[in-house]
Structures are given as structure tokens and as C-alpha cells.
Structure 1
Amino acid sequence: MNYVSAATLAFDVIEQGRSLGTGLLESVHQVLVRGTDADTDQAGRIRTTQVAIGSSTGALEDARFVPMPPGIALDVAVQDLTQWMNRPSVSRDPIVAAAMAHYQFETLHPFNDGNGRIGRLLVVLQLMADDLITEPLLIVSPWFEARRTQYQDHLAEVSSSGAWDPWIQFFAEGVAASAVDIAERVDRMLAVQAAYVQILQVAGARGVIRDIADTLISDQVITIAMMSERFGKTPQAVAPAMQKLVDLGILSGPYGTYGRQYIADDVFLAVTAPPGRVPARDDPLQHDTGADPSRM
């Protein structure tokens, strides 16, 4: 939830036409670590202590990589990076630029914690700032996390030998695969939404039933109380509508200890299915996925 809040903050800044800067990075970090073990006096600040990456003991001599020490040089390097990222995109390829910026951010390792998550978020922010994408739908973390060893090896090779080409090719492959994955998910979600509309038309459903169905593209797990508050209806008015959606196969449930939660299984599956296993746009609806209440 912290990551969602931090990403939303950053996306809002970019969508308002404001530039990336050290202040934004620090704000994102502060939100990201809120309430965690990393929520210390270093939260929301460029680190003031030395860190070691890949050390089982925490000692510098055992580390796979030791980033720049804290101090003025690190502060200036982070500022230089954000200024370079804000340069007009006409003079550079946005994917190559994003790959280079991501490497530099992870090499600087400017925070005590959360650098990987912020660095991957920066990829999307930079592509938005460079007008390559207009909506923050791209998610690159799963692809890179699934190839963590290769990812770290490529970054290390750039640092040790200046091997930029293999890193940029690897990075571009990850962005492309992530974009295809997101496109497949969005296509499936839109197809499911269209199927819901057809089901409701055939059933002659209208009013709050249609209103609830329209929300499922963004909220796949809902409750009667949630829908009651959203549409200003009494729970007594919403409950039959929810049951009708269950009867039509659009929702399943109720689940949970108190039987309050309902799931739009087809949209939920489109969002959560592992890469490569997202149902195709024209696949039939699940209707009954046997959703496990224990996952709630």
C-alpha cells in the first residue's frame, strides 16, 4: 500500500507537467518506508551513512558492490542525475536513456532502503516525462524480479567494464515484455467489461446493478458497504443487486470470515495472473473460478 501511495504521488507530479527532482525522490522514499523498519531519521533523505550491497555480514569487504559514500558528492550526483533525466527527449532514445538513468540511480543507491522499488518506478516516470507513454500502466518489476541474477550481473558489468550494450539490450527486452504483458491484461479487462455489459443487457438489469458492474474494472474485490457508500444507497438496496450479479456469474462470493467480500473473478484474474498466463481477449468468462476464500 505504501508503494501504491508513493507511485500515485509521483505519477501526479509528472502528469501535472512538473519535473523529476531530488525533492520528489525524497518524498517518494518517505511515503514508501512509512511504518516499516526503514522509517527512521533517514526516511525521505539522501542517505548519510555508507551502505554495502550483497554483503551477508554487512561488512564492506564482503560486499558485491559498495556505492558512493554519503556526503556532498552523493547529493550532487543525485541532483545531476535528475537534471539529466529532465533534459528534452528529442536528443536521445527514451529507452536507452531510461536504461542509463536506471543504472546510475541503482549505482548511486541514494537511500538506505527501497532503492530497487524507487529505481523501477523511475523507469515509468522517465518514460512518461519523455512522452513515450501517457498513462502509468507499465509495470517492469515482475520481469526484472524474475531475472534478478541476470539483472544484477548486467549492472555489475557496466560498473566493472563499461559493458553498456548488453545491459541496454537486456533492459529493452524487459520493457518490451512488460509492455506486451500489460497490453494483454488491459485487452482482457476491456473484453470482460464488454461481456459484462452484454450479460446485463440480456438480463434487463439496470440501475444500481449496472453501476456496480461498471466499477469492477477498477475494484475487483468489493463489499456491500463499499458499494452502498459509493452510490449513496442503503445496504438493503445494494444487497439484492450484488446477489443478482452473483447469479449472472459476474461476481462470486460472498467470502471472508463474515461473508462480506465479493470478487469479479474474470477481472481479478486478468490483473493477477502470472505473466504469460493471462486469458486471451476472446477467451470465455470464468463464471465460476472456485475462488478460495482464504486468499482474502
Structure 2
Amino acid sequence: MLQLYQANLLSEPYLYLSAYFNHYRSEYFDRLLAVSQQGEWESWITFVLNAVAEQAIDAYQCGVELVSLRENYRSRFPNSPAVRDVIDHLFEAPYLQAPRAIDATGRSRQAVYDAVKKLSTEAIIVEVTDKDRNKVYKAPDILALVESP
């Protein structure tokens, strides 16, 4: 999948086959060795296709959960378009810096800083820098979904 992404045949590397291969590491190497020593291509191809199938299911489930989470967040702020825009930005970049959110959303500085405050109050984002300026926030629920095995 990464090769398809690098060749611009996919817009994103949707499947993370390495997770599957790491989980079945011993089998992965055994099957590779069987290909090189005994020409057992069929079992190797079956193994890789199982990896693709399992990772596709995982990617789909993750996508469904992300869409649900996004809708949950957006529904909390029905009358706050700037907050909703910043929420949308979080799903593209779950680590947030206000200047980048200003650029990404096209909202005013004040609107973005107000949105950040609301999102922080709701614990949708949490500060990770502990600074007075140049604060960085993360969206832990989003990160938990995209980083889960």
C-alpha cells in the first residue's frame, strides 16, 4: 500500500500492513523463507491477502469511529461555526497550534483562540506544552483511534 501511495495511486496510505506483519512476525519470516527456499508463493500470497483483508476491516472500523466522533464533537457546538471549523481541522491534524488553525480554517485570530478555549474546556483538546505562548494542544480521542493497533 505504501508503494501505491508513493506512486500517487492512492491519496493516503489507508492500510497499515506493517501492523499485521509485526503481529504475525514469526509467520511473516517463515513464509518469506519458504518462498525463497521452496518457491511457496501461494502461501505467501494468501498470507499477504489476509493482511490486506484484516487491515482493510480495521481501517474501515477506524473510519466509522472517526466520523462518529467528529459528528459528536460538531453536535456540541451547533451555533459555533468557528469551533466546528477547528474541529474539522483537528481531524486533519490532531496536534493543534492556533496559528496553523487560523491558516487552515480562514477564521480570525480571535475566533480561533475562542474556539481553542471552548474545545479545551470541553476536554476535546488538551495542552501538551504548558507554556504561556506558542501552545500546542492534542486531541486525545482522535489520536487514540488513529494510533490503536
Q: TM-score range by the shorter chain?
A: 0.7 to 0.9
1:149 equivalent in structure 2: 26
Q: Distance in 2 between matches of 1:8 and 1:225?
A: 29
Structure 1 residue 212, shift from structure 2 partner: 0.5
| Bigger fraction of residues in helix | 2
SS in structure 1 at match of 2:127: strand
Residues 238 and 186 of structure 1, relative CA distance in 2, 3 Å threshold: same
Aligned equivalent of 1:10:
7
Aligned to 2:86: 212
RMSD between aligned residues: 2.5
Give the Cα–Cα distance (whole angstroms) in 1 for the partners of residues 35 and 52 of structure 2: 19
- The reply to whether residue 258 of structure 1 matches residue 135 of structure 2 is no
Structure 1: where are the runs of 5+ without partners?
A: 16-133, 275-296
Where relative contact order (Cα < 8 A, 6+ residues apart) is larger, the structure is 2
> Distance in 2 between the 1:169 and 1:248 partners?
46
Q: Secondary structure at the match of 1:219?
A: coil
Give TM-score, length-normalised by structure 2: 0.83
Instruction: Output the amino acid matched with 1:10.
Output: A
Measured against aligned partners, the alpha-carbon deviations of 1:74-110 in whole angstroms (never above 9, x if no partner) come to xxxxxxxxxxxxxxxxxxxxxxxxxxxxxxxxxxxxx
Distance in 1 (CA, whole Å) between partners of 2:109 and 2:45 is 54
Alignment of 1:135-284 (within 5 A): 136-201=13-78, 204-206=79-81, 208-251=82-125, 253-258=126-131, 260-274=135-149
CA displacement at 1:147 relative to structure 2: 2.1
Point out 4+ residue stretches in structure 1 off by more than 4 angstroms.
6-9
Distance 1:198 1:263 in 2: 20
- 1:112-148 superposed Cα distances (whole Å, 9 cap, x missing partner): xxxxxxxxxxxxxxxxxxxxxx864122111112222
Change (3 A) 1:179 1:225: same
User: Hey, what's the Cα distance between the residues in 2 that align with 1:135 and 1:229?
Assistant: 22
Any gaps of 5 or more consecutive residues in structure 2?
none
Describe the shift of the 1:198–1:10 C-alpha distance in structure 2 as closer, same or farther (beyond 3 A): same
Distance 1:168 1:255, change over 3 A: same
What count of residue pairs does the alignment treat as equivalent? Answer: 146
| Greater gyration radius | 1
Shift of 1:234: 4.9
> Would the aligned equivalents of 1:199 and 1:248 in 2 still touch at CA under 8 Å?
no
State the identity %. 27
TM-score (norm 1): 0.44
